[in-house]
Chains A and B, each alone.
Chain A
């Protein structure tokens, strides 16, 4: 097994990375991306992108330079510093992470509920929408072309 595969299979590491991409909200309504059980799905998507793999290796190496146990051993500030230190040489790392993390995060029921939305698929429940405003309809009726007028 390659070093990269080990990195991607390291759930703790992936959770830490995902929490850097989307941390929990200050008000506690929205979870961090690392807390949703989406790490393995994101890792699976990342495995197909060699540039992101290289970026992850660089992050972990930079973290181990600080602490042999790697990124998860660092403080929140330390993790952020390490990640940011690698973005210059691995510019596609964050775009690659967000590409997969954002969709996985924003279709999770806990996140939808945190946003005040129902944590369910659109169908079969559907949604209510506001009716067309009566005053607007009155304006339209006054302007309407009448039958036979062209």
Chain B
């Protein structure tokens, strides 16, 4: 294996790493990406087999602690009611995501100015807009132009079909006079750029066997490789090394055989997600950076934000076939997205429709909630639930709090002995009130849609998909880790491009915005290449 020095070293081949590497390849520098996971194969995804639901809770679980695969590192999460989820492979968590693809709204970037809480971002929607549009084309996004909740934009593909479940839900929202709109989805509704369109397998969150769901291993990476970007899998980065002047020098990493290697680079780019990035920075202590790299502010690992989720489901008399079709992509609602102080909380949430539950999922859910007993009454109870549910999740805006952190665990380590991250997180009163509000409003929508019964999980624990805020951007080096285009204040050849950058979390899924930011950072580097380290 050659460890010749490279121009740009990207750590992590997920949502942001793929987008960034593809773009930065145009700068004329050599680009190498180190990824700790493997390339995935569509033929190995669970939906190729009848037992797909069982595999979705084992080796395809979104929890690294459940999977425990060689590519995974454990996360100490006992001090958090929300458990972090991620996937380690080329494509990262886009392998298992639902592909719901809303953008942040313009007001999401100025919550301090508008609502007097948290901080404003140092950039705005208009800065990112061209990168949102570019990213939509690269990923392949289906949707319907004209959503009044957003500035006008045109998804490149027609919206995915609602199915019976979505049509039913939409009528409930419509009856109440609430906002609803077909979701922007990173799932292609028809053939696009050599990929076949969606055939409604259902479980997008176990990996898409059809390849209709965008994951960066099949969108950005093939094109990036054709531009000359190298990707090296099975490589677990131990620390970022620094020169005497404190600038980044490269990394030490364990290769597929576990052998410690050194890779030098002119620029180091972190794309390891909101937990992996602060973990690596904190693990990169040196004489020049005794508290971890880029951490003179003490903000690395602070302000961890999730999206606290509530699940609200309804049972309907008629069959809804909600277990077919992209489970997390049909329609959204921004009815309660903006601050209304009369509700008792600041900021707001979106509803994301979920179609329904698959056969095993229905049984497991019914068992866990006492709705499906064993024995003689089993079949009747199961028949009332399976194929008769639909509903939504509420994605609430989590406000930044310095006491919500990613630190290093003093005992837990990965298979290479690298200290594991420890997550400490407390749900705020604001979020709790928002979740309660969402549960009641969700039930109202379901009842309006014709549900004969409703039920809710007011805080979903295994729902820590969205990892944000732990190396946030800003213009003040005392309160932020990187500047307004992702460059570390302390280390001018070190960049962050993942969800760690986020100043606030908004109330929608973050990946569209993460990737737009990654493209924007790459573009900023290209524009500033002559005086990048000034």
Contacts and interface: CB of A to CB of B under 8 A. Distances in A.
A129 to B, nearest CB: 4
B28 interface: no
B250 interface: no
B375 A121 contact: no
Interface string A123-150: 1111111111100100111011111111
Nearest to A19: B375
Nearest to B355: A129
A126 B163 CA distance: 14
A102 B167 contact: no
B202 to A, nearest CB: 6
Contact of A126 (B145, B152, B200, B372): B200
B49 to A, nearest CB: 5
B52 interface: yes
Given A107-B54, A129-B324, A140-B182, A148 B152 contact: yes
A106 B360 contact: yes
Interface stretch (A3-11, A21-29, A48-56, A65-73): A21-29
Most buried by A among B48, B145, B166, B375: B375
Given A103-B360, A123-B209, A140 B146 contact: yes
A73 B145 CA distance: 67
A86 interface: no
Nearest to A139: B174
A123 B145 CA distance: 30
B417 interface: no
A119 B51 CA distance: 11
A55 to B, nearest CB: 13
B401 interface: no
B48 A123 contact: yes
Interface string B149-179: 0111010000101111011001100100000
Interface in A86-126: 94-95, 97-99, 102-109, 111-112, 115, 117, 119-126
A20 interface: yes
Nearest to B198: A126
Contacts of B171: 136
Contacts of A148: 152
B112 interface: no
Contacts of A25: 379
Q: Sort chain A's interface into a size bin.
A: 35 or more
**Interface of B, helix, strand, loop or mixed by DSSP:** loop
A133 B152 contact: no
A109 B49 CA distance: 11
A107 B53 contact: yes
B308 interface: no
B74 interface: no
A132 B364 CA distance: 30
A133 B162 contact: yes
Contacts of B50: 107-109, 112, 119-121
A58 interface: no
A74 interface: no
A15 to B, nearest CB: 15
Given A124-B209, A126-B201, A145 B152 contact: yes
B367 A102 contact: yes
Contacts of A105: 363
Contact of B152 (A99, A111, A125, A149): A149
A123 B201 contact: yes
A80 interface: yes
Contacts of B374: 20-22, 94, 97-98
A103 B386 contact: no
Interface of A: 20-23, 25-26, 30, 80, 94-95, 97-99, 102-109, 111-112, 115, 117, 119-133, 136, 139-141, 143-150
11 contacts: A97-B374, A102-B360, A102-B364, A103-B54, A121-B52, A122-B209, A126-B200, A127-B200, A132-B166, A149-B152, A150-B151
Q: Nearest 5 pairs between A and B by C-beta? A: A144-B146, A126-B199, A123-B209, A127-B324, A129-B163
Interface of B: 45, 47-54, 144-148, 150-152, 154, 159, 161-164, 166-167, 170-171, 174, 181-182, 199-203, 209-210, 321, 324-325, 359-360, 362-364, 367, 372, 374-376, 378-379, 386-387
